[in-house]
């Protein structure tokens, strides 16, 4: 299927439609939405009745069955990357002689959903790909290999670490947004300057800064 003159979007791991709503507000049309959970697909279909939906195991499906779009927005399962699971996430590639690690198949399958981004991008050659996940995904032992796979497909990228409170959401939730764009395309403007209070100047446009300039990633207030 040829890409259309307006900006079209596929929402992979679509959830109930939060990411799709943001894309619509930016002027896009949600053409395809996919999720393995029936309730999520039902809810997304209620919110976006003109979008095509598929309830399927994304890791087992063939990307060729779906239409090509300009943009892929995707939120691969983040549960098994998150500190909320209470498991060690750093240095997972380093074996411990005295405390051997065991591999949880469910954990590995959960993290493997990130490779579905690569599979779909290889087939559809999206102009842009936006991946949302928890900050701890950066500790995944295959994270750099995953990035390199996208680079091999012809993408550049930038990672933005953002707390939802700065988007005026009624919660504090740290996330990373990894934005890929086709090499040769203009780099998107990914800077954000949320309003903040300066003791001397009053309300100003804040700029993100890092406690460690060599480690430009982390959680809000702990960087």
- pTM, 2 dp: 0.81
Q: What is the mean pLDDT of residues 95-120?
A: 63
Secondary structure element (H or E) that encloses residue 111, with its range: helix 105-112
pLDDT bin (cut points 50, 70, 90) of residue 4 is low
**Residue 145 confidence (pLDDT) above 60:** yes
More confident residue, 90 or 185: 185
Query: Which residues, listed in sequence order, are joined to residue 156 by a DSSP beta bridge?
Result: 181
pLDDT at residue 198 greater than cutoff 90: no
* CA distances from residue 134 to 7, 77, 216 in whole angstroms, order as listed: 27, 9, 15
pLDDT of residue 194: 79
Task: Share the mean pLDDT of the chain.
Answer: 83
| Residue 95: band (very low, low, confident or very high) from pLDDT cuts 50, 70, 90 | very low
Taking the C-alpha atoms of residue 59 and residue 14, their distance in angstroms, rounded to an integer, is: 14
Closest to 137 measured CA to CA, from 207, 58, 84: 84
pLDDT at 177 exceeding the cut of 80 = yes
Cα–Cα–Cα angle for 124, 178, 41, nearest 5°? Answer: 60
Better-predicted residue by pLDDT, 156 or 18: 156
Rounded CA gap, 55 and 53, in Å?
7
Residue 176 has pLDDT above 70, yes or no: yes
141's torsion region: left (phi>0), alpha (psi -120 to 50) or beta? alpha
Domains and CATH numbers, the chain: 8-187 (3.40.50.150)
pLDDT level of residue 86 (50, 70, 90 thresholds): very low
Contact 81, 137 (CB under 8 A): yes
| Spatial separation of the C-alpha atoms in residues 24 and 17, rounded to whole Å | 10
In the chain, % of residues over pLDDT 90? 55
The stretch 99-128 carries a mean pLDDT of: 74
Determine the average pLDDT of the residues in 66-81: 84
**Under DSSP, is residue 148 helix (H, G, I), strand (E, B) or coil?**
helix
pLDDT for the residue numbered 64: 97
Supply the pLDDT for residue 121: 98
- Residue 13 tokens read as 């791991």
Strand, helix or coil at 22?
A: helix
What pLDDT, on the 0 to 100 scale, is given for residue 202? Answer: 87
In terms of C-beta density within 10 A (0-12 exposed, 13-18 middle, 19 or more buried), how is residue 48 classed? buried
> Beta 71-74 vs 52-55: how paired, if at all?
unpaired
pLDDT at residue 59 in the model? 93
Asked whether residue 84 carries a pLDDT value surpassing 90, the answer given is no
Residue pair 68/1 in contact by the 8 Å Cβ criterion: yes
Rg (CA), the chain: 19
């Amino acid at each position: 299927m040829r890409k259309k003159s307006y900006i079209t979007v596929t929402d992979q791991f679509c959830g109930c439609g939060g990411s799709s709503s943001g894309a619509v507000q930016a002027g896009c049309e949600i053409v395809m939405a996919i999720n393995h959970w029936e309730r999520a697909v039902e809810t997304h279909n209620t919110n976006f009745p003109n979008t095509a939906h598929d309830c399927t195991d994304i890791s087992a499906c063939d990307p060729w069955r779906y239409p090509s779009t300009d943009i892929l927005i995707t939120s691969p399962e983040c549960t098994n990357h998150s500190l909320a699971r209470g498991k060690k996430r750093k240095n997972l590639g380093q074996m411990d002689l005295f405390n051997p690690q065991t591999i949880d198949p469910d954990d590995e399958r959960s993290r493997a959903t990130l490779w579905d981004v690569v599979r779909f991008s290889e087939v559809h050659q999206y102009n842009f790909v936006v991946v949302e996940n928890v900050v701890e995904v950066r500790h995944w032992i295959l994270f750099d290999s995953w990035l390199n796979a996208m680079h091999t497909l012809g993408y550049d990228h930038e990672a933005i670490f953002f707390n939802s409170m700065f988007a005026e959401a009624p919660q504090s939730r740290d996330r990373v947004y990894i934005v890929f764009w086709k090499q040769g395309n203009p780099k998107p403007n990914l800077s954000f300057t949320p309003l903040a209070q300066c003791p001397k100047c009053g309300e100003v446009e804040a700029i993100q800064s890092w406690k460690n300039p060599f480690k430009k990633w982390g959680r809000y207030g702990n960087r």
